[in-house]
Copies of this chain bind each other. A is one copy, B any other.
């Protein structure tokens, strides 16, 4: 048993997982990567996302990791999720082969729909090339959805890369000095 201290350069894996009778899914933030331009400015290279991984149940307390399926929620899709009210539903469509010659052949859809006091979280993957259809459906409670919303709200600025902006200590300043003290400056701004 270790504390987290020594691991800052390692990959930390701490998904929020909901295990139910027929399937399970986990939720985990996936951080953006950055690239440095010739100008010295650092920009987002690959966008962050909230990664959902679904697994089928294959026995008591056993889930099929080999046949897992993934769905990466973009920042805007996370925005949909965190504003859902008790009776709201949402559905997202992804094409993993978009822009390739196989565009349109595989269709992934994630839906979240009201179910009693909670929700059904479902992933459907239709693959026209393989003639397959894979479906996962996990009923979750209102409390489990609350954890997802709170955790996604926490993670959203991180997957957007805004934590890197607010972490930076040094930025170019225009050398503007307050004239007549900061209180006057305050007042001018407030107008």
- Counting every copy of the chain, the complex holds 4
**A1 interface neighbour in B158, B163, B177, Cβ under 8 Å:** B177
Q: Does A187 make an interface contact (CB < 8 A)?
A: yes
A43 to B14, CA, bound (A): 6
Q: Does A132 make an interface contact (CB < 8 A)?
A: no
If over half of A's interface residues share one DSSP class (helix, strand or loop), that class is named, otherwise mixed; here it is: mixed
Q: Which one of A72-80, A106-114, A120-128 is at the B interface?
A: A72-80
Q: Could you tell me how many residues of chain A have their Cβ less than 8 Å away from some Cβ of chain B?
A: 89
List the B side residues contacting A164 at CB < 8 Å.
Answer: 4, 7, 12, 14
A154 touches B157 (CB 8 A): yes
- Other 4 A-B pairs with CB < 8 A, given A29-B165, A80-B142, A150-B156: A1-B176, A2-B33, A35-B177, A163-B166
